[in-house]
Amino acid sequence: MRILITNDDGIHAPGLAVLERIARTLSDDVWVCAPEKDQSGVGRSITMNEPLRLREVSTHKYALTGTPTDCVIMGVRKILPQKPDLILSGVNSGENICDYVTYSGTVAGAMEGSLLGVKSIALSQAYVFDDGVKTIPWQTAQDHAPAIIQKLIELETPERTFYNVNFPNCSSDEVAGVEVTSQGVNEHVLGMEERNDGRGLPYYWLSFAKSDELKIPGSDLQALRNNKISVTPLKVDKTDHDFRKSLNEVF
């Protein structure tokens, strides 16, 4: 089985090293094409207005000056001798759940893989800040991912459908099980923080406010809060089919 892996945290991210170890429990034929630098939050963007530079890091491992979507296309269309059997994206530093999946480069990497006709899985590891310190339980993803991936490999997956897997913020032995979930809903908490540069001119950072969690049974968010691994099947098709019927009556 040939596996292509990518991420959005960049070629040097610890989560990518974790994913390499996970992939090698499944196959010896593992290839990597990941962004040269952090591309978190880029969604499914592609690079159109500047050239892409490809750097060989080591055997079967490449860094690209582009987005996760660019990396998947480069891997499938240019680097690999044949189309891979599986694409893995991650392991992301932080959960990718609820409405935020639309921002995620990790999720976008798996989405692009599904459009290329390859079974694709996004993987993310939840964590929380404790007194300003970020401690990520990578071992939880590393221990539990291989068995989950193996089960998903054996499934017949619908076309243009991919998987979003999130691991809870707990130790490996504290995981309370695996739950098949729906994409949850979260409050919109992004804002703009204004600062001034050395000349007094304003510039801006995106900021995140604390939100009240929406406890929806069966959602990815609820599963993680219950120390469960969340497995969500996502589709590329974003059509609101129910509302489409009502809209059709208007026109």
We report the CATH number of the domain holding residue 72 as: 3.40.1210.10
Indicate the pLDDT class of residue 75, thresholds 50, 70 and 90. Answer: very high
Res 214 pLDDT > 90: no
pLDDT at 170: 98
In-domain check, residue 140: yes
Mean pLDDT (the chain, rounded): 96
Res 210 pLDDT > 80: no
Give the count of beta carbons closer than 10 Å to the beta carbon of residue 78: 12
Range of the domain at 38: 2-184+215-250
CA distance linking residue 120 with residue 159, whole number of Å: 11
In-domain check, residue 137: yes
Residue closest to 38 by CA, chosen among 71, 10, 65: 10
In-domain check, residue 32: yes
CA distance linking residue 249 with residue 251, whole number of Å: 6
CA distance linking residue 144 with residue 141, whole number of Å: 5
CA distance linking residue 133 with residue 237, whole number of Å: 38
In-domain check, residue 207: no
In-domain check, residue 200: no
Residues 6+ apart with CB under 8 A from 211: 186, 187, 189
In-domain check, residue 204: no
Q: How many domains does the chain have?
A: 1
pLDDT at 213: 74
CB 64 within 8 A of CB 71: yes
Residue closest to 190 by CA, chosen among 115, 118, 98: 98
In-domain check, residue 54: yes
In-domain check, residue 100: yes
